[in-house]
Amino acid sequence: MSAHRRGCPRRFDNSTDGFASYSDGKEHDQMAWLTGFPREKVDWFPTIDPEKCVKCGICMNCGQNVFAWTQEGARVVRPYSCVVGCQTCANLCLGNAISFPDIRTIRELYRREGIWAKVKKQLEESGKLKADPLP
């Protein structure tokens, strides 16, 4: 397990056209998402080491409601609501108690399943992006 420190927690609403939009009530461009690939097949969610958790509570700020608070501290209750690639809770965890899988496994999955290509195709088809081959 490596602790990569990138990402941003935002709430998304999946839509049928393969895009998702922010649901914070403001206007945003639509954001490419998993293009219909089942979220449950993406092995990306936080794991808490209870020995390291100092009950700071900052992980409860996750906009995806991945965590629930218990008498023993935070617990992961909705792992597949975690935004793939996000690691904000780990970045801010006071006890360095949160870890994620190696991001390279996700990048390998995206390449294997053609997710980058599908996202790009959707952007092109929606007129948001001019057709251009991936590098």
Interface contacts to ligand SF4, rule CB under 6 A: 7, 9, 46, 48, 53-59, 62, 64, 66, 73-74, 82-83, 86-89, 93-95, 97-98
> Which is nearer to ligand SF4, 98 or 120 (by Cβ)?
98
Query: By three-state DSSP, how is residue 38 classified?
Result: coil
The beta strand positions in the chain, using DSSP E, are 12-14, 19-22, 31-32, 47-48, 67-70, 73-76, 98-99
How far is Cα 23 from Cα 34, in angstroms, rounded to an integer? 17
Min CB(129)–ligand SF4 separation in Å? 26
Min CB(127)–ligand SF4 separation in Å? 29
